[in-house]
Amino acid sequence: MSDLFLYGWRIRTDLPLPELLPWTGDDRVPDIVVRLGSVPPRNDEDRLVTPFLSVGGDGAARFEIAEVAAFLISGGRDIVVEPAVATDAPDIALFLLGSVLGVLCHQRGFLPLHASSLAAGGGAWALAGGSGVGKSTLAAALIDLGQRMLADDVTILDDEGGGRMLALPAFPRQKLWRDALEALDIAPGRRLRSTGAMDKFERLVGSRFQNAALPLRAVCHLVSDPRLTEPLIEKLRGVAALDALMSNTYRRIAGEAIAGSGPLFRRVAAVASQVPQFELRIPHDLDRLDRIAVAVRALLDEALAEPVE
Amino acid sequence: MHLSDTAILAQKPGVLAAAIDDLVVIMSAERAEYYELNPIAADIWKRLANPRQVAELIAELVGCYEGDPALVGSDVRHLLTELAGRDLLDIR
């Protein structure tokens, strides 16, 4: 299998990852290597960080989901996968591009946010929030209005220094609930996950993918507010900004265990101090999704145009 | 807790600080909580990067902010007591 592109990293993988674009960059040694193999059981000395994740003294992390796979992630570079099911089962890729990616990020010293990110006027906007708040749905509507997407679920930031904080491009696929796809009149792709009554499907964004990193201009922390008919935006400052970013740091607990709470705090504080943070309260109204998206764009454009005090 | 004016205070090692907007946010090593310091409190925190006697600190701030010594003294002692109470300071 040829190498693939993921957040600007060259990834060599035994495991099929159909959502990723092929690598067309330089002939560097792969930044990340995913191979199938056996993952040793947890050591007694390993620290149990969550019921699924343990970290060894050498910083290597072991992540296991019963009946899916075990993953061993070392040095921010090497991932060994021991599947419990067929290697092309969507759940394996789901966790690889989810929690395992989060761990990898923290090992590499990058900050991952639980956020969708979109291109806007030469920069990037990140829409952050917990699962189910509506980041992907709002992002899908903004994509339909013409904004390109950098990432759907995990936005990875690269602090270049000198005030330049970049949002990195992931892969051209969203995961959307069936009702969001229907509201946007989009035909669903491959089914990704069935949880009871609600299914999530792929939505490929094709040419609407932003394949180059962009400077992060704003982070909007989404809150679903059923009382509202129109979205509302409010600037977050100081501790409120820091707190929102901490809450929306992807796999924060893992990050604290792997990178250390000091380095993680510094990474988050750097974003809070360099990039405007907002709370964005959105109505939950799929029928008016396109108009909500237009309103969000106008609110954010206006909020960012204001002179910085 | 009562801090005497001869007590020598310093930032507790392991307390992290970051400037966000015009505020300074500090986080304790146990990272259970963050605290927001307004510009004057941030200034005091910065001065405590090296050990300082309480009386000395008050005198410096009276000079710097040209304030009434009694008021400045009272405000500073209050802030220091708060910081100490939250285990953010080394006290000798």
Q: What is the pLDDT of residues B11-70, one digit of tens each?
A: 998 898 988 887 899 988 676 678 999 888 999 999 999 999 999 999 999 999 888 889
pLDDT higher than 90, residue A91? no
Residue A195's pLDDT is 59
B27 interaction partners in chain A (CB closer than 8 Å): 261, 265
Burial B44-54 (b: 16+ CB within 10 A, else e): bbebbeeebeb
Contact across the interface for B34 and A273, Cβ inside 8 Å: no
Burial A246-258 (b: 16+ CB within 10 A, else e): bebbbbbebbbbb
A306 interaction partners in chain B (CB closer than 8 Å): none
Mean pLDDT of chain A: 93
Contact across the interface for B20 and A273, Cβ inside 8 Å: yes
Residue A132's pLDDT is 87
Chain A closest-CA separation from residue B21 CA (Å): 6
pLDDT higher than 80, residue B1? no
Whose structure tokens read 């491009």?
A: A169
Bridge partners of A268, per DSSP, are none
Whose structure tokens read 């939505």?
A: A203
Residue A308's pLDDT is 54
pLDDT higher than 60, residue A183? yes
Q: Least CA distance to A274: which residue of chain B?
A: B20
Interface check B1 vs A, CB under 8 A: no
Interface check B49 vs A, CB under 8 A: no
Interface check A87 vs B, CB under 8 A: no
Token representation of residue A171: 């892969």
Contact across the interface for A269 and B34, Cβ inside 8 Å: no
Q: Give the pairing type, strands A32-36 and A9-13.
A: parallel
ipTM of the complex: 0.74
Contacts of B40 (CB under 8 A, 6+ apart): B65
Q: Least CA distance to B16: which residue of chain A?
A: A262
* CB distance A120 to A149 below 8 Å: no
Per-residue model confidence as pLDDT tens digits over A35-46: 999 999 998 899
Chain B closest-CA separation from residue A216 CA (Å): 16
Q: Give the pairing type, strands A164-167 and A154-161.
A: antiparallel
Residue B14's pLDDT is 85
Phi, psi of B81 (to 5 degrees): -65, -40
A239 interaction partners in chain B (CB closer than 8 Å): 20, 23, 25, 34-36
The confidence band for B8, taking pLDDT boundaries of 50, 70 and 90, is very high
pLDDT higher than 60, residue A309? no
Contact across the interface for B20 and A237, Cβ inside 8 Å: yes
The confidence band for A197, taking pLDDT boundaries of 50, 70 and 90, is low
Chain A closest-CA separation from residue B37 CA (Å): 9
Residue A24's pLDDT is 96
3-state class (DSSP) for residue A120: strand
Which residue of B16, B25, B31 is in closest CB contact with A238?
A: B25
pTM (two decimals): 0.90
Amino acid at A182: E
